[in-house]
A and B are shown apart, each in its own frame.
Chain A
Amino acid sequence: MGVTGDEGPERVDREVDEELAFHIEQRAAELIARGWSAEAARAHAHASFGDVERIRGESRRLRRSDRARRSRRAAFEALAQDARLALRSLRRDPGLSALVVLTLGLGIGFATALFSVVDSVLLRPLPYADAEQLVYLWQNDRATGTAREAMGSADFYDFRDRTRSFEGVAMWGRYEASIQRDGADPVQLRLAVVHHDLDDVLGIVPTIGRGVTVDETEGAGGEVIVLGDGLWRSAFDADPAVVGRDVVLDGVPTRVVGVLPPRASLLMGGDVDAWRPLRMTPAQATRNPHAYRAVARLAPGVTPAAAQADAERLATALEAEDNANANRGALVEPVDDFLRGDARGTLFALLAAVGVLLALATLNVTNLLLARAAARKGDTAVHTALGSGTSRTVRRHLAATLSLSLAASALGALLAWATLGGLGGLMPPALSALGTPTLDGRVLGFTMALAMSLGVVLGLGPALSAARVDPATSLSGAGRGGAGARRSVHTRKTLVGAQAALATLLLVGAGLLGLTVQNLGRVELGFETDQVLRGSVALPSNRYPVDFSVYPQLTERLDFIREALRRVSDLPGVEAAALVTNHSLDPGFTNSIAIEGRPPDPARGEPTTRMVTPGYLDVAGLRLVQGRWFEEGDDADAPGVVLLNRTAAERYFPDGDALGSRIAFWGLGFREIVGVIEDERVAGPRTEAPPAFYTSLLQTPPAGGVLTFMLRTSADPRAAAPGLRRVVRDIDPQLAVFDVATMDETLALAKQRERFVTALLGAFALMALVLAATGVYGVLSYSIARRRRELGIRKALGADRGRLRRMVLSQGAGLVAAGIAIGLVTARLGARLVESLLFGVESNSPLPYIAAAAALLFVALAASLLPAARASAVPPAHALRSD
């Protein structure tokens, strides 16, 4: 007696009742036969039975538990059998199974790799306590339209003391220094000078030792340094006893007092190596320079919007109190938004794309499985005829597809793991600063969940179609030309059309991004980046003092600049050399200027400041528009001269009289504009060149620390790096050369986000094309095979090979035509998703759409070639034989 799934516990209860009733009635019947009355007989039978209710209850309980156990065992056996049958059927079709696993595996691999990026960048919590309560405090400049600027130290104290919205506010600044080591090159450090409250506001606790204290910022505390986690591991070997050690920082002994937790400096931009105290008391604070960034923790219950209103109120008050704050507003921005807002947009668009790819892969595999199901209609029909229910068939298909998707998940995880390194390298710095993608538990969990879902989706489709098979028609062999088969082909054709639509989406996306990258590459930057090496040094103020009373005669700095340039220019392979404060792709900072003979005009805004040596013209390949460039004679003893870029000249001197006019800045006297230079896109290829003025480094040596060498080389620029380091070391062994890169690399990084998205979309689009091709090929082959007889008759009736071939080719095109149309329309709507990434191309530019349609059509035709050849080769005689 088998237990099928349709027996419920109620049936068992009824059986118990029936069994007991039989017994009692038989006993009563015996008594009636002996002459008892029916009533008396039944009463006696009941009584001698015992406590009927109790017995009934006990029997029911026993039988129910028996039934439950049996059905569990049957279910388990059914499952095991399904698994066995599934594996057997997969082994019978190794080619198909391999193809399915490969297709799904690629899709899962892409999705896993992308998810690991999303996980490390977006899902990982920021390393601060209650990070959603942290906000940046920015100033902004209404005149120049900049939305985010650093503030002066006095502004910080005002924001801290004169607002009500914050639980704590702290500031920091940046500078460079180097650690001197005996017998080794100095190590350059990027340092943050921090207010003593910073670690409290952020909610971080040093893993070893302590942070910076008020003694060290406002009092008489000594020189201390708190190491970042990365620096501690790389330069100090993660030594747990590092606290108390002294390091020599720019010649000054500095005590290590603690180690920060990992990623602590994320909100500063992520490239900070260590913290030092920001030595400042409220009395010493000034409105200028705007060199300090601030972060605040919102008080409980305060929203960013409320804090924004509060900050704006204060900014307005400050404007009225102090001229230096003219046009200065405030911006309160959640740290999370700033760090991850852009990333969210980009990554969501990519996730959508990978979702499209997965859908494509699923449709493709569904087609493959339908093909196999159609070929095996015989088997299914036999099974159905022998009593296998619909749910049984569904379960068996599910077992098969789940096994396939499980195998695919392993392949996908492997592929993702292999590409993760490359993916990390391709990520734009804004994303990689937030985290490195790894294959951890959560990512693998995602992979499994994805594979399971795909397995279920794939299992239900063909299963439902197979379950509808009518045994009679299939077994009788009419299946080949019957309605069921026609419906199957129709379904498969629809699926191919859907694949074409999805592929079109990806192709359009890849096309738009590809055009963007191409446009970015064609932008007239205003400077040359090929064969230029850059490398920076930081001149510490103890050995290269800055005494404003003798400015610009800062002897040590001028001597260094001259000597270093002379030696570097003598290096083999160096065609031109220059020293600058900001290289060509570094926007630097702005300064306000006064124009002689004109009243101050706050609406003028502040131009960008470029301080260069005369060699910069040749290194960067600048074009002179008017007048002259700097010469060696423009030094600290000569009258001050300045150049404007074209944008500045047109903006400030719309009448064209820039040459000869005089401007003043930094509190220095007026100097003559001797030339106009063509614009440089210093803010990157996407951004128009800002107005800028240029001064000669020899006339205005920088008070700030960092100078950047730029060398134009005849051969590979990287080869000049060792020479550069040697020159610097020979002049001053305590100086380190850091941030060495070629300008080509720097330019590539500026376009990294677009390149990252394009690379991924391109890979998706390529896979989409391949899948569409195999889809078309599969359906056409099947259709041709089914229609052999019809084709043979056509042949016999005189159709030539060419005609048959063309017929098949047009069928192939027809399969994708509707899909392409739908895909184009959807792409037009969806292109909005990537609009922010585009450059030089509108989301409705016709070219990518036309190219996508053409590519897909071409691929469909190519995939139709072989079936077309086969169709045209059908011999007429063969077909008339009945099959």
Chain B
Amino acid sequence: MTSRIDSTSLYGTLNLLVLRAVADEPLHGLAIARRILDSSGEHLQVEEGALYPALHRLERDGLLQAEWGRSENNRRARFYRLTDRGRTQLEREAERWRAHTRAVARLLEG
């Protein structure tokens, strides 16, 4: 079962996913979408259009840094990497997400 993640999803979820996706290595937009799909066990499929405004917003806010590079088939592509601020933000968002899920889980336990 896959849930569609788009810009109307839980606030910041897309940001969190994107930040995590590029935490290990710089990726271009398409690769980020693939990484999110793969790493989530094919649960989360990003609406591809929503990805780019999110990437550009993160870049504008200083959480990502972008550079033109060569894709795996040698075409010009824009690669995004995590900045130090982005890394800090990722940890914060991740922690907040975990706390949120723990709380929901506790609620569901009764």
Contacts and interface: CB of A to CB of B under 8 A. Distances in A.
Contact of A59 (B30, B53, B68): B53
B93 interface: no
A63 B53 CA distance: 9
A23 B48 contact: yes
Determine which residue in B47, B49, B75 has the highest number of CB atoms from chain A within 10 A of its CB, and name it: B49
B53 A62 contact: yes
A617 to B, nearest CB: 98
Contact of A63 (B50, B60, B68, B76): B60
A181 interface: no
Contacts of A63: 56, 59-60
B67 A66 contact: no
B49 A19 contact: no
A836 interface: no
Given A22-B28, A22-B30, A22-B71, A55 B53 contact: yes
A15 B68 CA distance: 10
Contacts, number: 63
Contact of A22 (B53, B57, B59, B77): B77
Contacts of A20: 52
Contact of A62 (B49, B57, B68, B76): B57
A221 to B, nearest CB: 82
A710 B13 CA distance: 104
Nearest to A66: B60
A19 B53 CA distance: 12
B30 A23 contact: yes
A142 interface: no
Given A65-B60, A69-B60, A22 B52 contact: no
B87 interface: no
Contacts of A65: 60
B49 A18 contact: no
A877 B56 CA distance: 71
Contacts of B59: 62-63, 66
Nearest to A65: B60
A72 to B, nearest CB: 13
Contacts of B66: 1
Interface string B69-89: 001000111100000000000
Contacts of B28: 22
B48 A48 contact: yes
B53 A58 contact: yes
Given A52-B49, A55-B49, A19 B60 contact: no
A19 B48 contact: no
B6 to A, nearest CB: 8
B26 interface: no
Contact of A55 (B52, B57, B67): B52
B50 A50 contact: yes
A51 interface: yes
Nearest to A1: B67
Interface string A1-45: 100000000000001101110110011000000000000000000
Nearest to B66: A1
A665 interface: no
Contacts of B53: 55, 58-59, 62
Contact of A19 (B29, B47, B50, B67): B29
B35 to A, nearest CB: 14
B48 A50 contact: yes
B60 A50 contact: no
B30 A26 contact: yes
A49 interface: yes
Nearest to B67: A1
Nearest to A56: B52
A15 B78 contact: yes
A19 B57 contact: no
Interface in A51-86: 51-52, 54-55, 58-59, 62-63, 65-66, 69
Contacts of A49: 48-49
B56 A66 contact: yes
A23 B50 CA distance: 13
Tell which of A1, A19, A20, A49 has the most Cβ of chain B within 10 Å: A19
Contacts of B47: 50
B18 to A, nearest CB: 14
A59 B49 CA distance: 10
A22 B75 contact: yes
Contacts of B71: 22, 26
Contacts of A55: 49-50, 52-53
Contacts of B77: 19, 22
Nearest to A30: B30
Given A62-B60, A69-B60, A19 B75 contact: no
Contacts of B68: 15
A59 B53 CA distance: 5
Nearest to B57: A62
Interface in B1-40: 28-30
Q: Chain B CB within 10 Å — which of A20, A58, A65 has the most?
A: A58
Contacts of A52: 49
Contacts of B67: 1
A323 B42 CA distance: 122
A62 B48 contact: no
A23 B60 contact: no
A640 B50 CA distance: 119
Contact of B49 (A15, A16, A22, A50): A50
Contacts of A51: 49
Contact of B52 (A26, A48, A59): A59
B30 A62 contact: no
A49 B60 CA distance: 22
A792 B57 CA distance: 71
B60 A27 contact: no
Contacts of B76: 18, 22
Contacts of B29: 19, 22-23
A26 B56 CA distance: 20
A54 B48 CA distance: 13
A41 B75 CA distance: 19
A22 B74 CA distance: 11
A50 B30 CA distance: 14
B44 to A, nearest CB: 15
B75 A59 contact: no
Nearest to A25: B75
Interface centre among A23, A48, A69 (most CB of B within 10 A): A23
Nearest to B29: A23
A27 B34 CA distance: 11
A49 B28 CA distance: 15
A585 B42 CA distance: 112
Q: Which 10 A-B pairs have the closest CB atoms?
A: A50-B49, A66-B60, A62-B56, A55-B49, A58-B53, A19-B78, A23-B30, A59-B52, A49-B48, A59-B56
7 contacts: A1-B65, A1-B67, A22-B28, A22-B75, A59-B53, A63-B60, A65-B60
Interface of A: 1, 15-16, 18-20, 22-23, 26-27, 48-52, 54-55, 58-59, 62-63, 65-66, 69
Interface of B: 28-30, 47-50, 52-53, 56-57, 59-60, 65-68, 71, 75-78
Given A18-B78, A19-B52, A55-B52, 12 more contacts: A1-B65, A19-B78, A22-B29, A23-B30, A49-B48, A50-B48, A51-B49, A58-B56, A62-B53, A62-B60, A63-B56, A63-B59
